[in-house]
Structure 1
Amino acid sequence: MMMLIQIANLILQVLVSIVAGACLLRCYLQWLAFNLGAGQSKSIGAYILPLSNWIVLPLRRFIPSIGRFDLASCVAAYLLIFCKIAILLFISGATSIDISWLALALIDLLDLTLSGLVGLVFASIILSWIGAGTQIQFLVSLLVDPLLTPIRKAIPNFGALDLSPLALLLILQVLQIILGNLKL
């Protein structure tokens, strides 16, 4: 039984992380007023929209955006994570939904967000070394720079050495430690 739960956890974790991550990225890109370009084959929207439209578009009928914040995409990511948790808990023998599941889903949503940001910061660092001037480097910079700008203003300038990605990684990892302790 334990092996079945581990296999289900792995499969659900991968699938939900991809789709919920696409929903969160969609929300963030809308916040940045980025055109997802549904008709453009080389746009990031060509990847994000097919992964997330099936859940986001129906939710938009009931959940409007708040300014530039795409609340339907955020709720979609939360619902996906909640369903993953519910499935895993039912497989492991839970018989009823508990209010703690809602909190656990929120913590997992925040953890997924932080993990995605950590990945983006690493991608930004690597692309700044090897992919300067490429379209993907431009996109990753577009996503990471709004987070780095306040840090760059707060820490001293060391010339060509930019320590703001390191500071952002430290902040994100501290937040992940706090979230990890909230799960316990």
Structure 2
Amino acid sequence: MFYQIISFLLEVAATLIGGACILRMYMGWRRMSMANPVGRFVLALTDWLVLPLRRIVPPRGQLDAASLLGAWLLKLVQYTMILLLLGGHAWGVLPVLALLGVAKLAVSVATAVVLVSVILSWAPNRSLISDVFERLSEPLLAPLRRIIPLIGGLDLSPLALLVMLQVVSIILGSAQASLLGGTMVGVA
């Protein structure tokens, strides 16, 4: 029971802050202003981690490598703590495990962005937040919108993307499990 509680709390913290790091990187790549409610929330969650890392890894063009490194470090700490709790010996795979964790986290962030965008699109009134999420989800959905026609006036591209993202998440989870050979149960 103790392991499950600690593992859950580590997952929540790493997902919330790491996901905000990924979203910060994505918003920077999209050249979006952080002066909106979503941007301010992301900055509030990540400044303590990303700003010091920028001294080590400055941004290169549109890539905010410090945000990506922050997400990776969070996953690395999470998996290290879990491995310590389990008394595991798979220390050599931790960097790759954390990398797969960041990829899985990016899939989760993309899933959340698309879901929130779809839900906000149902609201009769447009808001600043709905505009932000629409702008974030548009590059993810645009390739599918070119392929999948409207069916009865409905855009099914978000559904198709969500299915594909879940498949990718399953593949990444399987890669993590095979990498560990069952050493760490419940790694997400």
TM-score higher than 0.5: yes
Aligned to 2:56, what secondary structure does the other structure show? coil
Gaps of 5+ in 2: 178-188
The number of aligned residues is 177
Tell me if the contact between 2:22 and 2:109 (Cα under 8 Å) persists in the aligned partners. Answer: no
Question: 1:23-172, aligned counterparts within 5 Å?
Answer: 23-37=21-35, 43-94=37-88, 98-158=91-151, 160-172=153-165
Tell me if the contact between 2:149 and 2:155 (Cα under 8 Å) persists in the aligned partners. Answer: no
TM superposition score normalised by structure 2: 0.87
User: 1:47-94 deviations in whole A, cap 9, x for unaligned?
Assistant: 111211111111111112121110100000000110011011112213
Q: Which has the higher contact order (CA 8 A, sep 6+)?
A: 2
Please, which moves more after superposition, 113-122 or 26-35?
Answer: 113-122
Alpha-carbon deviation of 1:123?
1.4
What is the CA RMSD across the aligned residues, in angstroms?
A: 1.6
Residue 17 of structure 1 corresponds to: 15
Q: Distance in 1 between matches of 2:41 and 2:137?
A: 19
TM superposition score normalised by structure 1: 0.89
Tell me if the contact between 1:27 and 1:74 (Cα under 8 Å) persists in the aligned partners. Answer: yes
Using the aligned pairs only, state the percent identity: 39
Q: Distance in 2 between matches of 1:46 and 1:156?
A: 36
User: 1:122-174 deviations in whole A, cap 9, x for unaligned?
Assistant: 21221111254122211110110111111111223436211111111111111
Q: Distance in 1 between matches of 2:142 and 2:176?
A: 31
| CA separation of 1:131 and 1:93: change in aligned 2, threshold 3 A | farther
Gaps of 5+ in 1: none
User: 1:73-119 deviations in whole A, cap 9, x for unaligned?
Assistant: 00000001100110111122136x62211111111111111112112
Aligned to 2:115, what secondary structure does the other structure show? helix
Q: Distance in 2 between matches of 1:52 and 1:180?
A: 25
Moved >3 Å (runs of 4+): none
| CA separation of 1:141 and 1:63: change in aligned 2, threshold 3 A | same
Q: Distance in 2 between matches of 1:45 and 1:136?
A: 10
